Amino acid sequence: MGNQESIFSPQQLEAYQDCTYFTKQDIIRIFKRFKEIDPSRIQQSKMSNLHYCQSETLPADKLENIPELRENPFRRRILEVFSQDNSGDLAFDDFLNMFSVFSEDAPREIKAVYAFKIYDFDRDNTLNKTDLAKTLKTLTQKSRDQGDLVDGENIEQSALTETEENYILEQVLKEADLDDNNELSYIEFEHVVSRAPDFLTTFHIRI
Amino acid sequence: MSLPLKSDTKHLSESSLEQSTKKVKSILVHSSKVQHQRKSTRHQINLAFQKDCDIQSSSPDNVDGAKYIVSTFSSSIDVIANCNEAVDAETLKKENETNDFRLPSFKQRMQRMQCLTLRSFKAKQERAQQQVAQRVRTIIQLSETQSCINYTKRFLKGIKSMFDALIDLWYRLNFWSQQFREIEGHFGIATSTYFRFTRWLVNLNFMVFFLYLCFIYIPQLSYNNLSDYFTVVNDTGSGFFYNKMVLCSKSYKEKLTTRRANHHWLTFLDIAQGTGFLENTMLFYGFYSNLTVSLHNDFSSRNVKYNMGLGYLLTVGISFVVVFIMIVRKSSTTIKETVMDFDNTAYPLYTNAVFGGWDYCINSEKMSVYKQRIIYNEFKATLWEVKMKKKRENRSTREKSKLYLKRLIINLVVLALLVGSFYTIYLTTDYLIKNQTENLSEFNFLMVNYLPSIVISILNAIVPEIFWALSKVEEYSNSFATHITIVRAVFLRLSSVWVLVVSLYYRLHYKGRKPMDCPEENMYNVTRCCGNTLWESIIENDKLERRTVKCWESYVGQQFYKLCITDFMSVTLIVLSIKIPRRIIHHHLQHRIWVIKKLGRAKFDLPLQVLDIVYSQTVCWMGMFFNPLLPALTFIKVFYFFFLKKFELLSVAEAPQIAYRASRSYSFFQTVLLVSFIIITCLLGYMIGNLKPSMSCGPFRVYSSDEFVMFDVVTNEINSWPTVPQKIVRYFETAAFYVPAFLISLLSIYYYLAVTAGYKKMEELLKEQLKSEAHDKQFLLARVDEIIKRGQWRQED
């Protein structure tokens, strides 16, 4: 328990514990993970400085490669949403905030807020058809740099046809769009996601 | 709002028109937002979004708009004031007071928004509590009881921090969460619900074991240094039965301790079958004595009485109640989400698939590829279902009748299969009992003993596969086919245990041979001796003496013990001898032999795995009464299964191609468990209320009357209470209690159904209201546009 106190000041830890859904041990652990990503940039001694916590950022390319985010097709959007200037670079505050939102204890409302932002590709605060189409494409089709052979089995890269995609998008709008303006506002999104049973369980990253 | 008048139109410039339009729009938008206010926090979030929107889209000149935003924003100042890391509240207040308003930078706004969303939910309550606590503290400091309350508070705080430290330590051990991280990373959350379920069962078994430990094991162990025979419950007329009991018990004990050649092979047999020395241990019911001990303490003159029979019965009862409560509590949290499935119109199928589709937990490359395939397959399957549904509606009558005929035939086939399996089980049990007292060699006897369990295991492995194949012929929709196969498989598994029990009952209590040499006085003209029907063997033989059934409860317990062991062995063997070789063969030969490639790797099929675990648990519950040590055994067994299945999952199986929804899976597991639990309770209840216990063993040896059943222990206890409590308890047995209670429960169910229907109606109405309000808003905006345009034309004229 000795070096726990030396990284963060007690007030900081209290504040972090209040602000997020983590215990003190978790926060220390997450900090260690954060440091591992790029040890040369993060100096442990400075972490008790609040300003340092918020300003010293890690670049998006390195963050994309951590095991929790590496296989996620939405990783770029996640990083952009949680960063302070939409660039994808996260400071420790943002990093902690991100995993707090994705933790098991975060309530549905918080997750809905951030999910809405993640799926809103063009950042216009509504989910219109282009946003939904992009979401669907990202879900079913992943860009692969290497070949399509995994474990000796050939996996064909199949995709949904145009008509199928349109049908699915239409159904989504039919289920969710309450005021018939062909796009989902935050309220509609939150309303429909509160009835979707899988959302809470899948929108969760364990660290 | 003031619309430009006709006379003023000439003087209006374009920019001010735009300004007023924007003002109107913002006010309309604001009013619509206010209507959606459900909680103040949500309102703030909406405002945050709206602010962002407005701030980004409006020009810096639009001071009015900005001022309006700030005024609504300042209502949430106290939230912001406590953000340590974000904006300084003082500067914000200062900004408000000066008219020279500058919009905060984007970074600051983002921070504020983050603060709002994070803090609003947690810190707000904490802060309110702290304020109250602060006030209380100041008041208390002025009062005289200061020191007392302070100490209490400090003490409570100390306890709380101790608990926190313990929980921290538990998480530090990181035991379960590490396992789950591995599983979820590779296979997603749906598969990990199976493992969560297993872990929950481990906890359940541990609780039952703990109860048993306190009330059954420890009292029994403390009796062991007392004499062989027992002080008896003080019943009237029990002297006669007491004597009988002594004779029977003596005879039984003699049988158990018959000397024989001490071979290792025989010891192994004993362990495998639960006979011989193992029968005389705590493992079986027969070991427990009917003791009511009076302990004389030296330092107190009180007699401590512990009625073993009562304790045994009540412990079993309470453990069942505890299990029931835990199952119901667990299922009620998930049933809310399952209910939504039933109401298909309200279930957001596509939205759920799109927004809840990707499992964010996945961190292995292989699994992410698989997951995409699964999502893709699910979409394809749903679209195919839609097509099929259309096709089904367009079926001609002729096709329909053919299909119904096919389904009827298949249902008959399924029924025939089930009946055939049950009859097989009955035959084997019959065979077992017939051969119980025949002259067989040791090895053959072992085989015969294990025959029912082995048959049940084989049937459980093969028949569900046949059901699965049959369901494909029936042409149901995919989900319905899965469900119906699972229902059939569940029925088979549960009923096989049930059939075993019933056939044992039939054989042990109805059809026995007339004993020749009953140690009790031959009062009965029936084939019953000391409460057992298979007391004697025909051939007087040292070896066979061991094989007579002198304590039917222990005998039934032995069958359950064998079932437990067979289950354990069969699951281990299947993994070791079937799944691992399959994997190895597949890995090496798949490119050369086409058949092997087609068959693919073993799949970790969730429903069938769940049935395995539920079956183990069912065996435990059924046998809990006859084998008091069975919860401990099952605890170890389920714990072992967790790791065995995990090994199977990670190294042998491949991910299933059909997506199992996590929430549905969990509630499905709970439902299956609950159904099996209820059936078992009914069976056990019947047995306790109706069957005569043995006189030679167990805690219910001493009959208190001719028609003694196990439940009479409780009745006798109640009879020994004073009049008033007795009358109260008796009241609960009469119809005067049951009928009103039943009526009240019916009425409350009806009330809740009516309330639910009312809520549903309200939901429909609110949806309609939302729609019409949005339409209203659009209509009004269109009108405003129209009027402004008219104003513009007039201006141009």
Segment B88-103, tens digit of pLDDT: 444 445 544 544 344 4
CA distance A38 to chain B (A): 20
CA gyration radius for chain B?
Answer: 37
B737 vs B739: CA distance, rounded Å: 6
B370 vs B373: CA distance, rounded Å: 5
For residue B215, the 8-state DSSP code is: I
Taking an 8 Å cut-off on Cβ atoms, the answer to whether B177 and A206 are in contact is yes
Structural domains in chain B (count): 4
pLDDT at B614 over 60: yes
Supply the pLDDT for residue B59: 37
* Residue whose token pair is 């005389």: B280
Residues B165 and B209 placed together within one structural domain of the fold: no
Distances in Å between the alpha carbon of B19 and those of B24, B26, B65, B787?
A: 9, 10, 9, 15
Residues B226 and B99 placed together within one structural domain of the fold: no
Taking an 8 Å cut-off on Cβ atoms, the answer to whether A206 and B123 are in contact is no
Amino acid at B704: S
Residues B347 and B336 placed together within one structural domain of the fold: no
**Percent over 90 (pLDDT), chain B:** 5
Considering only CB atoms, A18 lies closest to which of B52, B123, B360, namely: B123
Residues B169 and B186 placed together within one structural domain of the fold: no
Residue B4 belongs to some domain of the structure? no
Residues B523 and B474 placed together within one structural domain of the fold: yes
Supply the pLDDT for residue B40: 43
Tokens describing residue B445: 């006897």
* Residue whose token pair is 């590779």: B186
Q: Mean pLDDT across the stretch B50-70?
A: 41
Q: At what angle do helices B552-573 and B630-647 cross, to 10 degrees?
A: 10
CA distance B362 to chain A (A): 7
B667 vs B162: CA distance, rounded Å: 35
A205 vs B6: CA distance, rounded Å: 61
Task: Tell me what the pLDDT averaged over chain A comes to.
Answer: 81
Considering only CB atoms, B351 lies closest to which of A175, A179, A202, namely: A175
Residue B762: which pLDDT band, with cuts at 50, 70 and 90?
very high
- Residues 90-109 on B with a CB inside 8 Å of A are 106-107
B192 vs B198: CA distance, rounded Å: 10
Residue B227 belongs to some domain of the structure? yes
Summarize pLDDT for B311-338 with one digit per residue, the tens: 888 888 899 999 999 888 887 776 665 5
Residue B754: which pLDDT band, with cuts at 50, 70 and 90?
very high
Taking an 8 Å cut-off on Cβ atoms, the answer to whether A196 and B172 are in contact is no
Taking an 8 Å cut-off on Cβ atoms, the answer to whether B351 and A125 are in contact is no
Supply the pLDDT for residue B69: 40
Residues B724 and B748 placed together within one structural domain of the fold: no
Bigger pLDDT: B793 or B2?
A: B793
Supply the pLDDT for residue B412: 92
A192 contact residues in B (CB cutoff 8 A): 348, 351, 355
Taking an 8 Å cut-off on Cβ atoms, the answer to whether A168 and B357 are in contact is no
- Determine contact: B695 vs chain A, CB below 8 A: no
Contact partners, residue B767, CB within 8 Å, separation at least 6: A178
Residue B755: which pLDDT band, with cuts at 50, 70 and 90?
very high
- Residues 313-352 on B with a CB inside 8 Å of A are 337, 340, 346-352
Task: Tell me what the pLDDT averaged over chain B comes to.
Answer: 71
Supply the pLDDT for residue B234: 42
B96 vs A120: CA distance, rounded Å: 32
**Percent over 90 (pLDDT), chain A:** 9
For residue B654, the 8-state DSSP code is: B
pLDDT at B250 over 90: no
Supply the pLDDT for residue A29: 87
B18-22, B439-443, B658-662 — which one is most confidently predicted on average?
B439-443
Determine the 3-state secondary structure of B681 from DSSP: helix
Q: Mean pLDDT across the stretch B393-397?
A: 78
Residue B540 belongs to some domain of the structure? yes
Asked whether the beta carbons of A83 and A75 are under 8 A apart, the reply is: no
Residues B378 and B470 placed together within one structural domain of the fold: no
Summarize pLDDT for B481-531 with one digit per residue, the tens: 777 887 888 888 888 888 888 777 777 665 545 555 565 554 444 445 666
Q: Provide the b/e sequence for B210-236 (b: ≥16 CB within 10 Å).
A: ebbeebbbebbeeeeeeeeebebbebe
Residues B692 and B757 placed together within one structural domain of the fold: no
- Residues 618-647 on B with a CB inside 8 Å of A are none
Supply the pLDDT for residue B13: 42
A75 vs A55: CA distance, rounded Å: 21
Supply the pLDDT for residue B596: 67
Supply the pLDDT for residue B236: 41
| pLDDT-wise least confident of B183-197, B199-213, B742-756 | B183-197
Residue B658 belongs to some domain of the structure? yes
Q: Give the residue from B580, B192, B598, B599 showing the smallest Cα distance to B367.
A: B192
Residue B752: which pLDDT band, with cuts at 50, 70 and 90?
very high
Residue B758: which pLDDT band, with cuts at 50, 70 and 90?
very high
Residue B512 belongs to some domain of the structure? yes
Bigger pLDDT: B771 or B222?
A: B771
Domain boundary among B126, B153, B173: B173
Find the domain containing B785 and state its range.
734-797
Residue B466 belongs to some domain of the structure? yes
**Percent over 70 (pLDDT), chain B:** 63
Distances in Å between the alpha carbon of B706 and those of A176, B238, B275, B525?
A: 70, 10, 30, 14
A6 vs A3: CA distance, rounded Å: 5
Residue A158: which pLDDT band, with cuts at 50, 70 and 90?
low
Residue B251: CB atoms within 10 Å: 20
- Residues 151-170 on B with a CB inside 8 Å of A are 164, 167-168
pLDDT at B265 over 90: no
Determine the 3-state secondary structure of B231 from DSSP: coil
pLDDT at B753 over 90: yes
Supply the pLDDT for residue B750: 96
Residue B5 belongs to some domain of the structure? no
B3-12, B211-220, B566-575, B588-597 — which one is most confidently predicted on average?
B566-575
pLDDT at B627 over 80: yes
A164 contact residues in B (CB cutoff 8 A): 379-380, 383
Q: Give the residue from B37, B449, B33 showing the smallest Cα distance to B276.
A: B449
B494 vs B503: CA distance, rounded Å: 15
Q: Mean pLDDT across the stretch B670-695?
A: 82
Residue B160: which pLDDT band, with cuts at 50, 70 and 90?
confident
Domain boundary among B683, B713, B733: B733
Residues B620 and B502 placed together within one structural domain of the fold: yes
Q: Give the residue from B42, B109, B32, B123 showing the smallest Cα distance to B70.
A: B109
Q: Give the residue from B716, B284, B709 showing the smallest Cα distance to B531.
A: B709
Supply the pLDDT for residue B347: 66
Domain boundary among B328, B362, B394: B394
Residue A31: CB atoms within 10 Å: 21
Supply the pLDDT for residue A57: 84
For residue A122, the 8-state DSSP code is: T
Q: Mean pLDDT across the stretch A114-122?
A: 91
A47-51, A168-172, B75-79 — which one is most confidently predicted on average?
A168-172
* Residue in chain B lying closest to A102 (CA): B360
Residues B462 and B575 placed together within one structural domain of the fold: yes
A105 contact residues in B (CB cutoff 8 A): none
How many C-alpha atoms does B283 have within 13 Å on its Cβ side? 23
| pLDDT-wise least confident of B439-453, B622-636, B782-796 | B439-453
| pLDDT-wise least confident of B54-58, B201-205, B211-215, B590-594 | B54-58
Residues B74 and B47 placed together within one structural domain of the fold: yes
Supply the pLDDT for residue B600: 65
Residue B522 belongs to some domain of the structure? yes
* Residue in chain A lying closest to B370 (CA): A155
| pLDDT-wise least confident of A145-149, B496-500, B561-565, B704-708 | A145-149
* B16 DSSP β-pair partners: none
Taking an 8 Å cut-off on Cβ atoms, the answer to whether A139 and B372 are in contact is yes
Bigger pLDDT: B541 or B730?
A: B730
Q: Mean pLDDT across the stretch B183-196?
A: 74
Asked whether the beta carbons of B430 and B503 are under 8 A apart, the reply is: yes
| pLDDT-wise least confident of A85-94, B223-232, B726-735 | B223-232
B391 vs B389: CA distance, rounded Å: 5
- Determine contact: B759 vs chain A, CB below 8 A: no
Bigger pLDDT: A64 or B73?
A: A64
Supply the pLDDT for residue B343: 47
Residues B613 and B748 placed together within one structural domain of the fold: no
B692 vs B689: CA distance, rounded Å: 9
- Residues 49-78 on B with a CB inside 8 Å of A are 49, 52-53
